[in-house]
Structure 1
Amino acid sequence: MITFSQEYVSSELTQNFFTITQKMQKKVTSSRNATETSEMFPVLPGSHLPLSNPALEFIKYVCKDGMVTLQWFCSNCQAQYETDSIKTALVEALQKKLLTYTLQDLGFSKQISVFRNITVHYSMPFLRENIDWMLQMNPELGKEKA
């Protein structure tokens, strides 16, 4: 069975893949330029790299065995990381970023309120004018969040 599979891939499938990739390359080359082809690929890890050859990416995908599952390995000892732990850590990191952003936004709104009070109490029209202009340009800054 192994010998048959190897012979089939080396003779029949190789020629078919070669024909398919030639057609892909001709179609892409004639319809788009090289800088626009990256938008044809799905957004996956590594998608930030410039992908400009659909035929090559097709062959890479076809040559992978079975379903590709997410696995991360330690670069030192090659032990597999627990995927659920990584997912949990990423969710926690995102939640911390959101909390930091929300608190910073809230703190800035309170500071604007303090500056506004100073302009009224000490009669500083130029500062008040700047605050009013800033709030006019960014209305969400003047809204204190609960």
Structure 2
Amino acid sequence: MKTLKRKEFEALFIPYLQSGTQIWVISKIKELPIKVIRFACNLAELDFIKFVRIDSYGIAASSENHPNRPKVPLIQMNHPTAIGIEILYDLEYQTIDFYDINSPIKGNGGRMVDAVLKDFPEGWSPVVIMDWSDGFWDKMKEKYKHLDWMEEP
């Protein structure tokens, strides 16, 4: 799996910072797989996403930052204003778990899912473990039925 070293991926993130979107990578990460970088950049390209954080197991992206914790995008189900998504990635099993998503504005949830699933890596599987969406994920699975969705156990 092709990776980029910290200086290389930080250079890729500069244009996003210049346009008002901050992408942070926790300090202990020295290399990132290109696939993870692509997921983060696709989310950062959405006009309403302003904060993206990458850690060892996931990516969080939101329109708002957590008020009491710098560098932590606010992702909270049913939040009245924050638009955000958290995905967990597993490099060994090549899965993306849509862990949390919130959008008080109709359509932005679908746009975030589209950003993650566009140019989705071959051999990878999207998964939704807990679906409290009242039909949203059924629509997304139908829209992206060409992908190999991992089903709940």
Query: TM-score, structure 2 length as denominator?
Result: 0.23
Query: TM-score, structure 1 length as denominator?
Result: 0.24
**Over alpha carbons, which structure has the higher Rg?**
1
